[in-house]
Structure 1
């Protein structure tokens, strides 16, 4: 939880302030454009940007207030609208296409139905998917299973099953702090199309081989994986991204909480290059990222063509 303390420094300055949230979203586009990013999927939990929803202790608590400093009620819908407005203006000004994924939070199942409703309401208006994040280790053990195996709240399962029925794209944080079985649960129970992090999938050959055979895409965040302690890179032990690259797994490189980690995408690429990823492998991560994005088909095709052209590669579609 030490990693999360950084949020307690800057989030209080924007929580509940719709104007600040819109401005932050706009500046996100500016920063992405400066890094040469042409498409990005930003994810956030709207409830954590509402007054009284954030606590430094566990990053999860919410009281019943949800009012700004003037006593005005602020809804999760208004937060999404503010974010969308900032992204739309940023896209017009800087050219980077931004789509968003709304996050459920483990341990707060009472938020999940509302988050799915927002995904439905804003589908086609910038929101392209749903996620669930949070501490895997905090989940309850399943009776009859080893103590480290965890279960999801029934509300979260129902929400992701409904999302699948409705064609809402799904990604799940799994196998970062929790065991490889959490990746399996994400794929089979929550119907995940992508896996956030997933490093510990390497601890179970059967699950890992399943992921390789099915082309499961892993969203890797090298810097945060070390800072959170989910990965230890020491001596001759390589980072999981090196194994992914060696085995031809589908993975991409992303920033994770760049304000906290003080990194950008170029830093992440440089770190991976230091570990031994080649330029061709880094190019492949970008192609994999776009292939597995939740972008509209026309946008996906257009950007893939740009990538193949920029890299001097034959379009494989």
Structure 2
């Protein structure tokens, strides 16, 4: 679907590595390749074609991400090429998120949800700060060459609370260099949706909660993955306990009318990712129910359209818009999604104003209306 300009708020930088680049680097570094080692087998191993679970969806990361782990030059290249690909899709402003620790060899191999990964023995020991610096360099070059504005969000990971304080520290340190917010990602399964100090699982994310409370105090913008693999109550927890300003995914919020009504009344923004919502099993269309995105559109909810992890979905942003159009979203609703995306972006005030002006002008909308 031809639609431009666009704004994207929910895309994982490490889940947007170009297939060709990953393949090239894996071969160059003599890293393990799936099957008989052909490019087609590589693609077949990392691209998710059928709906399953979030954990199944993430398996491909263990195959392709070692291509860039511990390699600052490759991380910068990944960031630069990300800007190129985004610009090709008509994106004029994007916020890409990633966990810097997952681009560090030891930390990546220790991450529970990527435990199947094959390590790169030649990876260098690098710091999280160096990872962030490399992505900033790539984005700065990409902005200059492709005329896009690119910002980053740093992700904490559920089950790895020991990283969270350092991630907040990096958000603070690089606040004036393009890092605009903090997130927490990972599987919600097993996390207590309602606070309860007697729960051991509740205690496991105590550090994360403290970090997000501190981020709110310091004025660091916050988004939280919630209501994807977990129930609607996870959205409520994200808003009330984690102090979230936006919700990553959030589809299952429609299962609880009171929480959903709260979100509508308070203009909570949902970062929707159409294709991944199906492939992770978060949403099923087999029962004949419409996708929650269509209800968001009908109810006037604030939401955006995003790619999430294009390396594994094998989609681009135009594909996501086409899918939403297939579900019945109109051109006006797609335009509104972009306007709401920019309104709820974590961009600097002057950047937000400039992009909003571009959107209104391109869509032929009087901003006073």
Q: TM-score, normalised by structure 2?
A: 0.80
Paired residue for 2:101, among 47, 58, 66? 47
1:8 aligns with 2:56: no
Give me the whole-angstrom Cα distance separating, in 2, the residues matched to 1:101 and 1:157.
Answer: 17
1:186 matched to 2:245: no
- Of 110, 122, 147, 1:69 maps to 122
Contact 1:140 1:151 in 2 (8 A): no
Contact 1:60 1:105 in 2 (8 A): no
Identify the match of residue 260 of structure 2 among 208, 215, 220.
208
Mapped partners of 1:190, 1:143: distance in 2: 11
1:138 alignment partner, SS class: coil
Structure 1 alignment gaps of length 5 or more: none
After superposition, the C-alpha distances for 1:198-257 in whole angstroms (9 at most, x for unaligned) are 011111111100000000000000000000000001253110000000110000000111
SS at match of 1:53: helix
Measure how far apart 1:8 and its partner are.
1.6
The alignment partner of 1:128 has SS state of strand
- Matched residues in 1 for 2:87 and 2:121: separation? 31
Alpha-carbon distance in structure 1 between the residues aligned to 2:320 and 2:196: 41
Runs of 4+ in 1 over 6 A off after TM superposition: 141-145, 149-152
Unaligned runs of 5+ in 2: 1-54
Contact persistence 1:7–1:56 (CA under 8 A): no
Contact 2:296 2:303 in 1 (8 A): yes
Q: How far apart are residue 4 of structure 1 and its match?
A: 0.8
CA distance in 2, matches of 1:107, 1:224: 22
Shift in CA distance, 46/77, structure 1 to aligned 2, threshold 3 Å: same
Q: Contact 2:111–2:160 at 8 Å: present in 1 too?
A: no
* Gap change, CA 1:143 and 1:36, over 3 Å in 2: closer
Aligned-residue offset at 1:18: 0.5
**What are the equivalent positions in structure 2 for 1:134-149 lying under 5 Å apart?**
134-140=186-192
SS of the residue 1:192 aligns to: coil
For 1:152 and 1:240, locate their aligned partners in 2 and report how far apart those are by CA, in whole Å: 31
In structure 2, the residue corresponding to 1:29 is in which secondary structure?
Answer: helix
8 Å Cα contact 2:275-2:320 kept in structure 1? yes
Select the residue among 80, 99, 105 that pairs with 1:26.
Answer: 80
Distance 1:143 1:304 in 2: 38
CA contact (8 A) 2:267 2:302 kept: yes
Tell me, what secondary structure is at the counterpart of 2:107? coil
Q: Which residue of 2 aligns with 1:277?
A: 329
Q: Which has the higher contact order (CA 8 A, sep 6+)?
A: 2
1:168 to 207, 215, 220: 220
- Alignment partner, residue 339 of structure 2: 287
User: Is the partner of 1:267 in helix, strand or coil?
Assistant: helix
**2:311 maps to what in 1?**
259
